[in-house]
């Protein structure tokens, strides 16, 4: 059928293809027929069927289109999109093409329900099924034990900076925080509104370029909890091991590393992160919390800020971010089909190695982070002269390598290579970096 370039084109469906609705055929002659067996051109949608056909096909007694990713060959799966660009944004960030294609195919009519997921009541059976499936798939992906609640919330990880102390201080005098960069600092600032914070370890002395050795942490055995940021998205510093903090509940901000590798949930009291980096669109914040920590806030926080409210209502106390949960659910299915978190971890290791090897080769580029603590997800790097930054970014853009500018607080470049960044994207970046270094080195 047609290459889909936007809503205007949707109104120009050609005749003779199953699915072109009569009332949408105005101007159809303007669209040339295409060979459906031909590969899609990069950067364009090629759709094998129109979602408008569904009602008609259903009426004719045929199976409605649009099923889950792993449910076998289906109309929506045949929707192909080959992107022209690689998006290295730190978040909101790249999502798997297959997920976007499926969501596009299901946009107007989810599984023959006649509704878009965006239009569904969150109390209706269709959405409840989507929600439950997303939760079950996530539980399976990370083998989350039964005594942990999964909460689909809103407000971003920034809201968790306040919700964590409001719920988990539990009348205790203080909490321990590990300070490894901008995001830890923000969490610390917010916690100080609720109680005393003991900064048990900090890497500020070396400009946040490493994870302080666990042996040096000055933990308080009476602390309400120990908080750390599992991956500093701006500085590119990652904890590659779960720190042992004894019986004190361990709390982690996993915003930029969640689902990029296995995670031993049972070692944590609470885990939180925004979806917009590694598993969905902005608007969804995930919390995984051990159930003995629920309902312990002193005083009890307002209902919306109390984890127990959301746990008791299966994240349906108020309207959840339904579309974001739906997309996250598709990402979970995508991950399962790729060998789960262990499978994706292997690719992530390979991608990170390609990029760090390129940075370390030749001395043109520089990454300041101590090698064992380098992030697999966010790779900051500088060029030898900041005046080269703009030409580097302009050349990258010409090649379809987008959003490489580093965070304003650090400067230079940052390549975020989350789960959905294909290894070919990293190869394309490395090849451009080599070419640029050869020209300017
Ligand atoms: C590690 C980390 N924590 C917290 C945040 C804040 O997240 P949000 O914008 O979802 O509040 C970010 C955002 O980039 C982040 O990278």
Strands 44-46 and 285-290: unpaired
Task: Determine the distance separating the centroid of ligand 1 and the alpha carbon of 433, expressed in angstroms.
Answer: 28
- Select from 346, 287, 341 the least CA-distant residue to 315: 287
Ligand 1 atom with minimal separation from the 234 CA: 16
Place of tokens 């999502």: 95
Q: Which of 183, 306, 308, 373 is catalytic?
A: 183
Which residue among 274, 285, 414 has the greatest number of ligand 1 atoms within 8 angstroms of its CB, and so is best to mutate?
274
Residue 5 DSSP class: -
Task: Determine the distance separating the centroid of ligand 1 and the alpha carbon of 406, expressed in angstroms.
Answer: 15
Q: Which of 2, 75, 176, 253 is catalytic?
A: 253
Which residue among 233, 260, 272, 324 has the greatest number of ligand 1 atoms within 8 angstroms of its CB, and so is best to mutate?
233
**Closest C-alpha to ligand 1, atom 7:** 157
Going from the C-alpha of 43 to that of each of 8, 100, 170, 191, 334, the distances in angstroms are 17, 13, 52, 45, 21
Q: Tens digits of per-residue pLDDT, 236-257?
A: 999 999 999 999 999 999 999 9
**Closest C-alpha to ligand 1, atom 9:** 156
- In the prediction, which pLDDT does 83 show? 73
**Cα–Cα distance between 157 and 190 in angstroms, integer?**
12
* 253 counts as catalytic: yes
Task: Determine the distance separating the centroid of ligand 1 and the alpha carbon of 276, expressed in angstroms.
Answer: 9
- In the prediction, which pLDDT does 410 show? 85
- In the prediction, which pLDDT does 81 show? 56
* 277 counts as catalytic: yes
Residue-level length of the chain: 441
CA angle, corner 300, sides to 298 and 305, nearest 5?
125
Instruction: Show the domains of the chain with their CATH numbers.
Output: 3-119 (no CATH), 125-336 (3.40.640.10), 340-440 (3.90.1150.10)
Which residue among 158, 231, 257, 279 has the greatest number of ligand 1 atoms within 8 angstroms of its CB, and so is best to mutate?
158
Low-confidence ranges of the chain (pLDDT < 50): 1-40, 42, 44-78
* 63 counts as catalytic: no
Going from the C-alpha of 355 to that of each of 53, 336, 365, 369, 400, the distances in angstroms are 45, 26, 11, 14, 17
Place of tokens 């959003």: 403
Ligand 1 atom with minimal separation from the 161 CA: 4
**Cα–Cα distance between 43 and 34 in angstroms, integer?**
16
Q: Residues near ligand 1 with C-beta < 6 Å?
A: 91, 156-158, 183, 229, 233, 253, 255-256, 274
Task: Determine the distance separating the centroid of ligand 1 and the alpha carbon of 183, expressed in angstroms.
Answer: 7
Place of tokens 């975020």: 416
- In the prediction, which pLDDT does 84 show? 81
**Cα–Cα distance between 201 and 215 in angstroms, integer?**
10
- In the prediction, which pLDDT does 362 show? 86
């Amino acid at each position: 059928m047609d290459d889909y370039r936007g809503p205007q084109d949707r109104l120009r469906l050609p005749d003779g293809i199953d699915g072109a609705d009569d009332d949408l055929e105005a101007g159809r002659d303007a669209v040339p027929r295409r060979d459906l067996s031909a590969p899609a051109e990069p950067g364009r949608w090629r759709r094998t069927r129109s979602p408008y056909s569904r009602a008609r096909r259903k009426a004719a007694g045929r199976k409605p289109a649009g099923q889950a990713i792993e449910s076998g060959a289906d109309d929506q799966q045949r929707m192909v999109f080959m992107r022209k660009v690689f998006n290295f944004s730190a978040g909101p960030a790249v999502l798997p093409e297959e997920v976007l294609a499926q969501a596009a195919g299901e946009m107007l009519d989810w599984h023959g329900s006649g509704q878009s997921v965006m239009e569904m009541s969150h109390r209706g059976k269709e959405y409840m099924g989507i929600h439950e499936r997303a939760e079950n798939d996530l539980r399976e992906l990370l083998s989350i034990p039964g005594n942990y609640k999964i909460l689909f919330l809103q407000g971003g990880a920034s809201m968790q900076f306040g919700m964590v102390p409001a719920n988990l201080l539990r009348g205790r005098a203080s909490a321990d925080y590990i300070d490894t960069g901008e995001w830890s600092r923000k969490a610390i600032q917010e916690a100080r509104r609720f109680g005393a914070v003991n900064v048990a370890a900090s890497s500020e002395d070396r400009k946040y370029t490493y994870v302080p050795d666990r042996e040096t942490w000055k933990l308080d055995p009476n602390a309400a909890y120990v908080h750390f940021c599992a991956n500093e998205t701006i500085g590119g510093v990652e904890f590659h091991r779960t720190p042992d903090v004894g019986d004190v509940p361990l709390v982690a901000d996993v915003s930029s590393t969640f689902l990029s590798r296995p995670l031993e949930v049972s070692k944590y009291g609470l885990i939180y992160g925004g979806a917009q980096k590694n598993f969905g669109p902005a608007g969804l914040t995930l919390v995984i919390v051990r159930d003995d920590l629920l309902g312990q806030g002193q005083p009890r926080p307002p209902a919306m800020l109390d984890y127990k409210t959301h746990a008791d209502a299966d994240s349906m106390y108020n309207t959840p971010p339904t579309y974001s949960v739906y997309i996250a659910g598709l990402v979970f299915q995508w991950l399962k089909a790729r060998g789960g978190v262990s499978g994706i971890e292997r690719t992530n290791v390979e991608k990170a190695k390609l990029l760090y090897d390129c940075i370390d080769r030749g001395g043109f580029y520089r990454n300041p982070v101590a090698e064992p603590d380098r992030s697999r997800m966010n790779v900051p790097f500088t060029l030898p002269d900041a005046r080269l930054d703009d030409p580097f970014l302009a050349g990258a853009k010409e090649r379809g390598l987008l959003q490489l500018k580093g965070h304003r607080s650090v400067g230079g470049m940052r390549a975020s290579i989350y789960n959905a960044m294909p290894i070919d994207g990293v190869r394309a970046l490395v090849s451009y970096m080599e070419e640029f270094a050869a020209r300017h080195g």
